Amino acid sequence: MKRLVKTALTIAGSDSGGGAGIEADLKTFTAFGVHGLVAITSVTAQNTQAVTAIHDIPPEVVAEQIRAVAEDIGVDAAKTGMLSNAEIIKAVAKTVKNYDFPLVVDPVMIAKSGAPLLREDAVDALIKYILPLATLVTPNRFEAEKLSGMKIRSVEDAKIVAKKIAEETGAEAVIVKGGHIEGEEAVDVLYHNGTFREYRAPKVEGCTHGTGCSFSAAITANLAKGLGLEEAIEVAKKFITLGIAMGHRIGHGHCPVNQSAWIEIPAEKWRIYEELTNAVREFESINPVRLIPEVGTNFVYSLPLPYARSTKDVAGVKGRIVKYGNSVKAVGPVEFGASDHLARAVLTYMRFYPEYRSAINIRYSREIIEEIIEIAQERGFKVSFYDRREEPEEIKAKEGATIPWGIETAIKRIKERPDIIYHLGDVGKEPMILVFGRNPREVLEKIKMLI
C-alpha cells in the first residue's frame, strides 16, 4: 500500500535539554506534519548553559539505525546534525550512499554554550566524506569560516564562501546563514545551480538554542513533502524567525527555539474562532437587551501566552454586539484584531492570570451592579473596580494607557482574582462592567446568572 505520510530522517545527537539535536529535529518534523525517523549518533548531557557529558554511539549502530528505517519505512529526505567523530562520519557516508534521498548537512561543530560537538580531527572527514553527498549544506558564519578557511564580515564575503564550499566539496548547494553577520537583518546567502539567492528576515529578539538544527530540519521536512530547494528554504526561514521570537524562556543560559509555534498558533486561532463564534450566537439567543451598553458590547478570546502580544492576537466581534430593536445582534463576524478596548483589558488581566483569556463588557447601572454584587456573594465571585478620577495625569496623557492602568488597579485593589471589574465612567466615558473567564463558555455562564 502506498505510504500517505512523508518521512524525514535525522542523523544527529541527542540534547537532554530538548532544545537542539534530535529533539529539535523531531519537533520540527512534527510541526510540518512529517513522520520523523532517527539515527542517534551521540548522547549528550546538556542544558541551556553547558554540555556536561558526551557518549558517542558505535558507528555500526549509527549505520544500522539508518539502514533499519530506510529498508522498512522509506526515507523521503534526511539531514545530519552532530556527527561527533570521524568513524561515525565514515559510517554515515557509506550508508546513506546506498539510498537516493536528498541530504541536508548541518555541519554542527560547536554548541551555543561553547562546547565542541565535532572533534577537531573530524572536520576533514566531514569535508571529504559527507559534504560531497549533500543536497544542501547549512553552515553558520563560524562553520562556514572553518569549512572554507576564509573570514566572513559581510553578505558579499558570505557569497564568496558559499560558492567556494560548493565548488571545493561537490555539495549541490550551500546556504551560509547570516544570524552572526553584522546588520539589522539576518541575511542567509544560498549558492545553488551557479546563482545566488538571499533570504532576509529581521533579527528578532528571542531564543536561539537549536536554531541551526531546527532550520535544517525544517528544510528537510519540506523537501520530504516535495517542495523545491529554494521554496523549502523560504518556508524554513519563516518558521525559524517565528520560533526564535516565540522561544521558550526556560533555563539559565541560551533558551531554546519554540518549534511548536508554527503549528500551535494557527490551531489555537481556529479553536478560538469556533468557540467564540458559538458563544456569540448563544449570547444573541439569550437576548440580554438590558445588558447592552450605549457603545455596544464586545466579547473577546485571546491566544494563550506567550503568543498573545498585541490586540491582533485577541479575537473579538467586528462592529461589536448591539441592540437592534428588541433584539441583540452581532454586527459582524468574529475576527482577530476586531477589539481594541476589551482586548487591551484582557491582555492586561492575563499578565496576572494567564489562563483567563476571555471577557465581555456589559452595561453599568446601579441596579445591575447591585444584582451582580448579590450574586457574587452567593456564588463566591469577586468584584473589583477602578475610578477614572484616580487615574494619574501621566497615564491620562498616554494614548491607550487608561484601560491597562484601570485593570491593574482593580486587580491590585483586592487580594483575590476579580471575576468582574467595573468603572464608573468619566466625562464622555460610559461606565462599564467587564466580566472575565478562562474561556467564552465560562464568561457566558456568569452572564446567564444575571438574566
Ligand X SMILES: Cc1ncc(COP(=O)(O)OP(=O)(O)O)c(N)n1
Ligand Y SMILES: Cc1ncsc1CCOP(=O)(O)O
Q: Closest CB to ligand X belongs to which residue?
A: 212
User: Of the ranges 108-116, 272-280, 313-321, 349-357, which one interacts with ligand X (CB under 6 A)?
Assistant: 108-116
Pick between residue 15 and residue 56 the one whose CB is nearest to ligand X: 15
Pick between residue 212 and residue 316 the one whose CB is nearest to ligand X: 212
Is 27 near ligand X (CB under 6 A)? no
Query: Out of ligand X, ligand Y, none, which partner does residue 117 contact, by CB within 5 to 8 A per kind?
Result: ligand X
In the block, residue with C-alpha cell 529581521: 202
Query: Out of ligand Y, ligand X, none, which partner does residue 342 contact, by CB within 5 to 8 A per kind?
Result: ligand Y
Q: How far is the CB of 15 from ligand X (least distance, A)?
A: 4
The residues that bridge with 209 in the sheet, in sequence order, are 256
Residue from 111, 171, 223, 444 in contact with ligand X (CB under 6 A): 111
Q: How far is the CB of 270 from ligand Y (least distance, A)?
A: 21
Contact 362, 447 (CB under 8 A): yes
Pick between residue 117 and residue 360 the one whose CB is nearest to ligand X: 117
Q: How far is the CB of 27 from ligand Y (least distance, A)?
A: 35
User: Of the ranges 6-14, 90-98, 387-395, 424-432, which one interacts with ligand X (CB under 6 A)?
Assistant: 6-14
Q: How far is the CB of 195 from ligand Y (least distance, A)?
A: 49
Is 316 near ligand Y (CB under 6 A)? yes
Pick between residue 230 and residue 426 the one whose CB is nearest to ligand Y: 426
Residue from 46, 358, 361, 402 in contact with ligand Y (CB under 6 A): 361
Tell me the one-letter amino acid at 263. I
Is 342 near ligand Y (CB under 6 A)? yes
Is 108 near ligand X (CB under 6 A)? yes
- Look at the chain and count its residues: 451
Contact 328, 284 (CB under 8 A): yes
Is 295 near ligand Y (CB under 6 A)? yes
Tell me which of 6, 90, 146, 177 is the catalytic residue.
177
> Does the active-site annotation cover 211?
yes
**Range 32-61, binding ligand X (CB under 6 A):** 44, 46
> Does the active-site annotation cover 210?
yes
CA 197 to chain centre: 26
**Range 420-449, binding ligand Y (CB under 6 A):** 432
Q: Dmax over Cα atoms in the chain, in whole Å?
A: 82
Q: β-pairing, 51-56 with 77-80?
A: unpaired
Q: Determine the size of the site formed for ligand Y (CB under 6 A).
A: 11
Q: How far is the CB of 432 from ligand Y (least distance, A)?
A: 5
In the block, residue with C-alpha cell 484616580: 390
- The binding site for ligand X (CB under 6 A) comprises 12-15, 20-21, 44, 46, 81-82, 108, 111-112, 117, 209-213
Catalytic residue annotation: 177, 208, 210-213
